[in-house]
Amino acid sequence: MRTIIFPFILILPLLVSAQWNWLNPQPQGDAINDIVFVSSTDGFAITGGGALMKTTNGGSSWILTGYIADDYLTGLHFSDAAHGFACGYNGAFVRTSDGGATWNVINTTFNGDDFSGIWFLDNLTGFIIADYGVMIKTTDGGDTWTAVSTGSTETFTGIYFPSATTGYVSTEDGYFMKTTDGGVSWTEHDTYQAEDFQCVWFTDENTGWMAGDWGAIYKTTNGGTSWTSQSVGTHDYFNGICFIDASTGYLCADGTVLKTTNGGTSWTQCYNPNYDYIYSIYADASGRVLAGNERGRLYRSADAGSSWSDLTTDKMTSAVRLNAIAFFDDQTGVVAGSGGIVFRTEDEGFSWDSIASGTTQEIYDIEMVSSTEAFACAGGGKILHSSDAGETWTPVVSGTTNILYSIKRMSSSFAVACGWAGTVLTSADGGNSWTSINTGFTTGLYDIDFYNENTGICVGQSGKIYRSIDGGQTWTSITSGTSLYLNAVCFIDSLHVVAGSNTDGLLYSSDGGLTWSDPVTNVSLGIVQLYCPSADTVFACGMEGMIAYSTDMGLNWNLFEHRTNWLLNDLSKTAAGRMYAVGYNSVILCRGQLPTTGFANHTAETASSMKIYPNPASEVLIVESDDFKWYCIYDASGKMVQSGDIAENSINIRLLPAGQYYIVGYSDQHSESAVLVKE
């Protein structure tokens, strides 16, 4: 069987030889937005990071099987054990027809809508709901979608069909939608209650519940003609509902699960793990209950809610904000963040030990100086120093009580820091003592960087950029062309500088920071950190788990694959090429072995590293490796179009349109890629 190699230029969201994986928490940390079981043993859950989780033992344990969408997923529905459908933001819709082994991304053409719920009456007819009264319908299993005239402008929040003909949609502002002809027509009804309903469930065509904000629980026994309050006097924000029968049901809210055994006449709290929002809940007659929250924690009860177990594993304090990460060598690194926490690893991040920092102020930045030395800065003007690779930290007098957001050491004779209210500090002895500079401005400064001991830039509130050519002693205001907050700045060389805004991507300078413009980029999300570990590559991270890179001095940018929806605050890279990203919710992501300077350019590649045949292919693709467990296929624009298990070394590509694609195979340790031509 011959294999053909095709030169193929792609705009890709990823790079060869590695993938981003979750180190903490595990199996993952994104919001779990829906849970479905297709048998007594097999179940699925979807996440805000676009991932699919799976259990084959009734929910006792779960694995992260892979990523099925590039967008935030909100709803999951199986019409039978083989046919499943999921929806999400930006018009996202994916489907499987082989029990979750393969998922195809389908363009609904409603890409401007953030879908909130999905229901299929059978394998062909389904509905998706969104804001502003948007509902779309398919009658061909999702191949094509058309808008449904609902006559409503309300925010649709949940959808449920107790029968093939009768269906309900919950909305905000106290309304609900109803159909009695299988969704051919819908009518808006008013409950006459000033409630924002977020979820709906019916046990038959007439008996059902809606629940929502501020503890709202309402029940109908006549198909919605009238509703009776069953609210329990709490201010919980109910997000999910599940009834086993007309008597027994569960509600989930902010940090709590409620249960009723009398049809909602009374509700009791059966679980209260914390105050985080629980977004999804599943229950069945066996006594099994599962709930997933906004931080990716999955809770399970095997006795109808009497006792619970947390199925998520933490390697450090959970649900904290990690702002900084630095590695002293290939094995040893530290992370730091809210509450003054510091954790240290000696095994590449696979385990972490808590380290006393000596402060409860939030730590915002770590500057690695050598294989043993580092500085950190924090709230309250705190500067910390370690000379033993992060094992111990001692305070350094800074001379200020203002928040310090950024610290840099350029040499043994020069270091700088910046922070709130125009604070700039300089050190002439490498960080042992500090002098406060009278900058003449009170702008909050979020980042500072110097190319050498003379030329530097700091950025901050309201698009402010300041430049110094005398080692930070005096500063000149530079026009940025934006009023957005600037969170990050990075010198790539003496001329090329990039800055990141809080909501809308990057700014670029090719004259040492004197003038600024927008780069040629597809990065439109907020930037928190910029990182330049080598001469030819600069990285950015920020909102919604965005990680991007540039290999041409910051002019053009490409996105890595999307692996989390949490804000990422910092990046680090070891000498051996392993990369790390940290952020909210104690998130630590790791990317495997990488080249030490820069990255391979796909436009220059002429051969594939992943062996596949036949190529071109029309039906089934064979993978010449037993290592790969999951794959993703991307089109020429870098959009994911199919993903799934690699079962018996084969992949079914029958549903892919003809064209050229890029396929990536993932094992537990690495990934490989190849160009694919579908006939």
Q: What is the pLDDT of residue 604?
A: 33
User: Is residue 149 domain-resident?
Assistant: no
User: Is residue 272 domain-resident?
Assistant: no
User: Is residue 148 domain-resident?
Assistant: no
Statement to judge: residues 482 and 583 lie in one domain: no
Statement to judge: residues 477 and 613 lie in one domain: no
Q: What is the pLDDT of residue 624?
A: 86
Residue matched to tokens 């969704």:
183
User: Is residue 587 domain-resident?
Assistant: yes
pLDDT band at 314 (very low <50, low <70, confident <90, very high): very high
Encode pLDDT of 432-491 as tens digits: 999 999 999 999 999 999 999 999 999 999 999 999 999 999 999 999 999 999 999 999
9 has a pLDDT exceeding 70: no
Q: What is the pLDDT of residue 669?
A: 67
Q: What is the pLDDT of residue 6?
A: 37
414 has a pLDDT exceeding 50: yes
Q: What is the pLDDT of residue 593?
A: 55
Instruction: Determine phi and psi for 278, rounding to 5 degrees.
Output: -95, 120
User: Is residue 247 domain-resident?
Assistant: no
Query: At a CB cut-off of 8 Å and minimum separation 6, what does 305 contact?
Result: 250, 257, 259, 270, 271, 283, 289
* Radius of gyration for the alpha carbons in the chain, expressed in angstroms and rounded: 27
pLDDT band at 316 (very low <50, low <70, confident <90, very high): very high
Statement to judge: residues 380 and 498 lie in one domain: yes
Q: What is the mean pLDDT of residues 330-337?
A: 97
Q: Could you tell me if 170 and 198 are in contact, meaning their C-beta atoms sit under 8 angstroms apart?
A: yes
562 has a pLDDT exceeding 90: no
556 has a pLDDT exceeding 50: yes
Q: What is the pLDDT of residue 3?
A: 37
Statement to judge: residues 563 and 619 lie in one domain: no
Encode pLDDT of 614-657 as tens digits: 999 999 999 987 778 889 998 887 889 999 998 888 999 999 99
Statement to judge: residues 345 and 485 lie in one domain: yes
Statement to judge: residues 332 and 423 lie in one domain: yes
Q: What is the pLDDT of residue 333?
A: 98
Tell me the CATH number at 111: 2.40.10.500
Report the distance separating Cα 16 and Cα 111, nearest Å. Answer: 29
Tell me the CATH number at 446: 2.130.10.10
3-state secondary structure 444-504: CEEEEEECCCCCEEEEEHHHCEEEECCCCCCCEEECCCCCCCEEEEEECCCCCEEEEECCC
* b (16+ CB within 10 A) / e for 518-549: ebebebebbbbbbbbbeeebbbbbbbbbbbbb
High-pLDDT (> 70) share of the chain, %: 95
High-pLDDT (> 90) share of the chain, %: 83
Distances (CA, A) of 372 to 255, 261, 326, 432, 534: 42, 60, 11, 16, 20
Report the distance separating Cα 279 and Cα 294, nearest Å. Answer: 6
User: Is residue 134 domain-resident?
Assistant: no
Statement to judge: residues 567 and 655 lie in one domain: no
Statement to judge: residues 383 and 500 lie in one domain: yes
Tell me the CATH number at 666: 2.60.40.3080
Residue matched to tokens 């109803």:
178
Residue matched to tokens 């991270």:
541
Encode pLDDT of 275-309 as tens digits: 999 999 999 999 999 999 999 999 999 999 999 99
Statement to judge: residues 480 and 416 lie in one domain: yes
pLDDT band at 5 (very low <50, low <70, confident <90, very high): very low
Q: What is the pLDDT of residue 1?
A: 31
By 3-state DSSP, what share of the chain in percent is helix, strand and coil, each rounded to 5?
5, 45, 55
Domain assignment of residue 79, given as a range? 29-120
608 has a pLDDT exceeding 70: no
Q: Domain ends where: 580, 599, 618?
A: 599
12 has a pLDDT exceeding 70: no
User: Is residue 379 domain-resident?
Assistant: yes
Instruction: For residue 657, give the DSSP letter.
Output: P
Report the distance separating Cα 530 and Cα 522, nearest Å. Answer: 16
Question: Considering the chain, what is the average pLDDT of its residues?
Answer: 92
Q: Single out the residue of 203, 207, 163, 204 nearest to residue 181, CA to CA.
A: 163
Domain tally, the chain: 4
77 has a pLDDT exceeding 80: yes
Statement to judge: residues 522 and 635 lie in one domain: no
Statement to judge: residues 561 and 666 lie in one domain: no
User: Is residue 345 domain-resident?
Assistant: yes
Statement to judge: residues 366 and 443 lie in one domain: yes
Residue 472 gets the label, from left (phi > 0), alpha (psi -120 to 50) or beta, of left
pLDDT band at 28 (very low <50, low <70, confident <90, very high): very high
| Separation of first and last alpha carbons in the chain | 16
Q: Could you tell me if 130 and 116 are in contact, meaning their C-beta atoms sit under 8 angstroms apart?
A: yes
* b (16+ CB within 10 A) / e for 172-185: bebbbbebeeebee
Q: Domain ends where: 74, 99, 120?
A: 120
404 has a pLDDT exceeding 70: yes
CB neighbourhood size of 18 (10 A): 23
Q: Domain ends where: 510, 528, 546?
A: 528
Q: Is 505 exposed, middle or buried (0-12, 13-18, 19+ CB in 10 A)?
A: buried
